[in-house]
Amino acid sequence: MALLEVEDLEVSLKSGRDLLKVVDGISFTIEQGETLGIVGESGCGKSLTALATMGLLGGTPIRVTGGRILFEGQDLSLLTPNQRRMIMGNQMAMIFQEPMTSLNPVYRVGDQIIEALQQHETLSQKQARDRAIELLALVRIPDPKNRINSFPHQLSGGMRQRVMIAMALACDPKLLIADEPTTALDVTVQSQILDLIVDLQKQTGMAVILISHDLGVIAETCNKVAVMYRGKVIEAADADDLFAHLRHPYTRGLLDSIPVADKEVEHLNAIKGRVPTLEEAIEGCTFNPRCPNVQQKCLSSYPSVAAFERGHEVRCHFPLEGNE
């Protein structure tokens, strides 16, 4: 049994009378100890997939309209709010894009970690405090004994993200969802945070879903990758396999748009055009207005999944030959 199984998940935005599908039937599984990278441009539905998994869509006009999310074989949508709360934080946890706003400004960071701990475990104040200091040390915050008394505004962005990670790890979750955890941080801090997540994963054996728009980040950290475009997974493979044999022109485009550090370039290779808005209906393959290899068939029918060796799947009528 997979740790997390997402089957044909559909997430829709209610806009007036219409339902616009933002996530359109995506499926993936993740096993204990694996790292799944979900990558795609802004608006492709990757964050919403994470929010839907964590059940954080309440109060928004966005709803899960189809499919199932199974955590250890349990359908999350069938749980009562109380049962769900038992899982949240305890079994699955999440860290967010914005370390600046994801901590409560009026509490000391230690108290926030202690609260996360006491939500699921009965600990004395002393035990909880010691554990919080351990957690801060675990996420490599220097001088944790004093830092535990800091308010969020006294910490830098990287430090706050570390505190968020410490909070998420408080109850040893089996699954950690990291929604663009490094987007708001500067580059040097980014790699530190990513290294930290990878190390912690090795130590604890948890599964991680890493959401990013940066293929470079994904390549460094993940062992499975799903590339999303307009609400669908258009290419999924093991990380090594994906980067060795790119099959989808979109993935190719994403990779080409990363500048190479030691080469002089005149201009960056961008994927032409933009992500079509949800209201725009596109006949055939949704990538056809931007695809360099577009052909007649792409304009009329949406490609079904084509499977290659080692579970490499791609949704394209004319997959690339698959070499660098």
Partner 1 sequence: MNIAQQIYRIFAGRILASIGFAVLIIVVLAAVFAPLLAPFDPLDIDPISRLQEPSLEHLFGTDQFGRDTYSRAIYGARMAVIIGAGSVAFALLTGGLIGMLSAYFSRLGSFLMRGVDVMMAFPALLLALVLMTLLERSVVNTIIVIGIVYAATTARILFGMTLKLKGGVFIDAAICSGAGHASILFRHILPNLLSPLLVQATFIFAFAQLQAAALDFLGLGLPPEVPSWGNMLAESRIYITRASWLLIFPGMLIIFSVFSMNLVGDALRDTMDPRFKDDIAGV
Q: Does 98 bind partner 1 (CB under 8 A)?
A: yes
| Least distance from partner 1 to the Cβ atom of residue 296, Å | 46
- Within 43-62, the residues that bind partner 1 by CB under 8 A are 54-56, 59
Which of 3, 36, 88, 218 is in the footprint of partner 1 by CB under 8 A? 88
Q: Which of 238, 243, 206 is nearest to 222 (CA)?
A: 238
In DSSP terms, 313 is beta-bridged to: 236, 307
Q: Does 71 bind partner 1 (CB under 8 A)?
A: no
Q: Does 129 bind partner 1 (CB under 8 A)?
A: no
**# chain residues binding partner 1, by CB under 8 A:** 32
Q: What is the DSSP string of 239-268?
A: HHHHHHS---HHHHHHHHTSPPTTS--SS-
Q: Does 193 bind partner 1 (CB under 8 A)?
A: no
Nearer to partner 1, 181 or 253 (CB): 181
Q: How far is CA 224 from the centre of its chain?
A: 12
Q: How far is CA 28 from the centre of its chain?
A: 12
| Least distance from partner 1 to the Cβ atom of residue 12, Å | 20
What is the rounded CA–CA span in Å between residue 92 and residue 89?
Answer: 5
- H or E stretch at 84: helix 81-87
| Least distance from partner 1 to the Cβ atom of residue 89, Å | 4
**Cα dihedral 225/229/235/238 (nearest 10):** 0
Which of 96, 229, 250, 287 is in the footprint of partner 1 by CB under 8 A? 96
Residues near partner 1 (CB under 8 A) are 54-56, 59, 81-82, 85-90, 93-94, 96-98, 101-107, 115-116, 119-120, 164, 167-168, 170
